[in-house]
Structure 1
Amino acid sequence: MAQRTVRIASTSGLHARPAAIFSQAATEQSVEVTVQKQGGDAVPARSILMLLTIGADHGDEVTLRAEGEGADEAVDALAALLEKNLDEEY
């Protein structure tokens, strides 16, 4: 299992535009990735609606997890997105 914890860099957190960009990138991955805020439930990264429910704000840490062939690459790619301010960079 590939796993990585990252801090949300987007000024608005994982809401609206950043969540849309992130879920689209997750859809393009070959494996399903989940996102979990500490103390919360893991949700599918491909679902913008589920991403919005975790309430991840700027500076919060979330853990990405995936299994299977390509899991490491998928988690790394999505982690790199969360480490950018998606409100400004896209």
Structure 2
Amino acid sequence: MIERIATIASPVGLHARPAATFAEAAAKYDTLEITIAAEGEPEEDARDASSILSLMSLGASHGDKVVLRSEGQGAEVALNQLAQLLETDHGAH
């Protein structure tokens, strides 16, 4: 299992547009199961990173840390790219 910790850069957190953008990016890795959880949350409570509703239910705000997890071929590259996406403020417009 590979893990990456990312800090939410979006001023609005993982809500609406940032959640949709992230879910779309995570869904591109359709051969991997990628999960997301708040830092410190048990691994079994992790949510599907490609689900907009799961991302919004996480309640992650600007500056919160989240843990991305996956395993399998390409998981390290996927998690690095997804963590970078979370750590970049793409604007909420």
- TM-based fold match above 0.5: yes
The 8 Å contact of residues 17 and 87 in structure 1, kept in 2 or not, is answered as no
Is the partner of 1:87 in helix, strand or coil? coil
Deviates more, 1:74-83 or 1:30-39: 30-39
**Runs of 4+ residues deviating >4 angstroms:** none
1:58 correspondence with 2:62:
yes
Aligned residue in 2 for 1:10: 10
How far apart are 1:87 and its partner, in Å? 2.2
Is the partner of 2:66 in helix, strand or coil? strand
- Structure 1 unaligned runs (5+)? none
Once residues 51 and 2 of structure 2 are traced to their aligned partners in structure 1, the CA distance between those partners, rounded to angstroms, is 19
Once residues 63 and 39 of structure 1 are traced to their aligned partners in structure 2, the CA distance between those partners, rounded to angstroms, is 9
Once residues 84 and 19 of structure 2 are traced to their aligned partners in structure 1, the CA distance between those partners, rounded to angstroms, is 14
RMSD after superposition: 1.4
Give the TM-score normalised by the residue count of structure 1: 0.92
Identity of aligned residues (%): 49
Once residues 90 and 16 of structure 2 are traced to their aligned partners in structure 1, the CA distance between those partners, rounded to angstroms, is 10
Give the TM-score normalised by the residue count of structure 2: 0.89
How far apart are 1:44 and its partner, in Å? 0.5
* Number of corresponding residues: 89
How far apart are 1:68 and its partner, in Å? 0.7
Aligned residue in 2 for 1:46: 50
- Structure 2 unaligned runs (5+)? none
